[in-house]
Amino acid sequence: MSPDSASRALLGAAALWAAGALAFQAWRFRGAVRREIAEPRGSALAGAVYGFTAAMSPARKESASRHPLAFGAGILLHLGVAASLSIVFLSAVAPEGWPRLGAALAGVSAVGLAACVGLLVRRLATAPLREMSPPDDYISNLAVALLLASSLAFRLDVLPAAALQLLAALVLLYVPVGKLRHGMFFFLARGDLSLRLGARGVYPPAARKGGGRGVRR
Partner 1 sequence: MASDAEARARALSSALAALDAEAGRQAAIHMSACVRCGLCGQSCHIYRSEPTPANLPASKVEAVASFHRRRHTFLGRHAPRLVGARDLGPRELESLVETVFGRCTGCGRCSLHCSIGLDVSAIIRAARRVLTKAGLTPDGLRRTVRTQIETGNQMAVTPEELRETAAWISDELAGETGHEGARVPVDEAGSRVLYLVNPREIKFFPLSLQAAAGVFYAAGESWTLSTRTCDVTNYGFYAVDDSAAAELTRRVLEEADRLGASEVVLSECGHGFRSFRWEGPGWLGERPRIPFRSVLERMDAWLAEDRIPIDPARNAAVTTLHDPCNLVRWGGISEPQRNVLRKICARFVEMTPNRADNFCCGGGGGMLSMEEFGERRVRSGSIKAEQIRATGARVVACPCHNCADQLLEITRVHGLDVEIRAVVEILYDVIDWRRVRGQTLRS
Minimal distance in Å, beta carbon 155 to partner 1? 28
Judged by CB under 8 A, the chain residues 135 through 194 that form the site for partner 1 are 135-137, 139, 177-179, 181-182, 185-186, 188-190, 192-194
Q: Can you tell me whether residue 61 is helix, strand or coil?
A: coil
Identified binder of partner 1 from the candidate list 2, 93, 100, 131, rule CB under 8 A: 131
List Cα–Cα distances, 81 to 35, 127, 150, 206, in angstroms: 33, 27, 12, 36
Query: What is the rounded distance in angstroms from the CA atom of residue 87 to the CA atom of residue 92?
Result: 9
Q: Which 12-71 positions form the footprint of partner 1 (CB under 8 A)?
A: 25, 28-29, 31-34, 36-39, 41-42, 51, 55-56, 60-64, 66-67, 70-71
CA-closest candidate to residue 98, choices 200, 164, 106: 106
What is the closest distance, in whole angstroms, from the C-beta atom of residue 13 to partner 1 in the complex? 18
CA 175 to chain CA centroid, Å, is 11
The Cα–Cα gap between 181 and 18 comes to: 9
Residue 166: which residues within 8 A CB-CB, separation 6 or more? 7, 10, 11
Question: Which x/- pattern, by CB under 8 A, does the window 64-93 give for partner 1?
Answer: x-xx--xx--x-------------------
Dist CA 189 CA 97 (whole Å): 38
Size of the site for partner 1 (CB under 8 A): 67
Bond preceding residue 204 cis, omega within 30 of 0: yes
Q: Which amino acid is at 55?
A: A
Residue number with CB closer to partner 1 (34 or 100)? 34
Q: Which is nearer to partner 1, 159 or 173 (CB)?
A: 173
Q: Which residues have C-beta within 8 Å of that of residue 165, sequence separation ≥ 6?
A: 7, 8, 10, 11, 88, 91, 92
The least CB distance from residue 103 to partner 1, in Å, is 30
In this structure, what DSSP letter does residue 176 have?
A: T
The answer to whether 4 contacts partner 1 (rule: CB under 8 A) is no
Segment contacting partner 1 by CB under 8 A, of 7-15, 97-105, 130-138, 142-150: 130-138
**Positions in the binding site for partner 1 (CB under 8 A):** 25, 28-29, 31-34, 36-39, 41-42, 51, 55-56, 60-64, 66-67, 70-71, 74, 126-129, 131-137, 139, 177-179, 181-182, 185-186, 188-190, 192-194, 196-197, 200-202, 205-206, 209-217
